Amino acid sequence: MEKMGEYSVLDARPMSCRACKQSTIRVDQSKSVYGNYQKLTLQETPGSVPPGRVPRYKDVILLGDLIDVARPGEEIDVTGVYLHSQQSLSRDKSGFPVFSTVIEANCVVKRHGDTSLFLSDEDKRAIRELAQDPQIGARIIKSIAPSIY
């Protein structure tokens, strides 16, 4: 999770001072750290939802160079970390705390219909050759985490 000063992305808006517990907080703009931040809502494609159901959605947080990579209505693939946070002072009818969930994006890729556009014929041939290797599992593990024994 990316940090913004001493706060993580999910608690970037503190409700009270951590040192004195005072609830009135004023922003000191000369000491504030600002970063690129964008929150978008990811929704199921309406065509993929069965009739009579409402498309599900999930909020996605984009930071740094990931902001502005997608426009409203574009189909995208998001890879990221699924996070939860307690909504401050929110409780349901039974008194239990309410948690919200978001995805903190690591990668956002626009969909272009046919995913095979990203692979050349040479790439496809190399993948087929590697698929025949009986040690492919070990090779993948070694290439992802070579220092882990």
Helical segments of 1-149, H only:
121-131, 136-144
> What's the pLDDT score for residue 88?
56
DSSP state of 50: P
Digit-by-digit pLDDT tens for the chain (149 residues) are: 455 545 455 545 666 777 887 777 777 888 887 788 899 999 988 778 888 888 899 999 998 889 898 888 888 999 999 988 766 556 657 777 777 889 999 999 888 765 545 678 898 899 899 999 999 988 888 888 666 65
Beta-carbon contacts of 3 under 8 Å, excluding residues fewer than 6 positions away, are 9
> What's the pLDDT score for residue 30?
87
Three-state secondary structure call for residue 66: helix
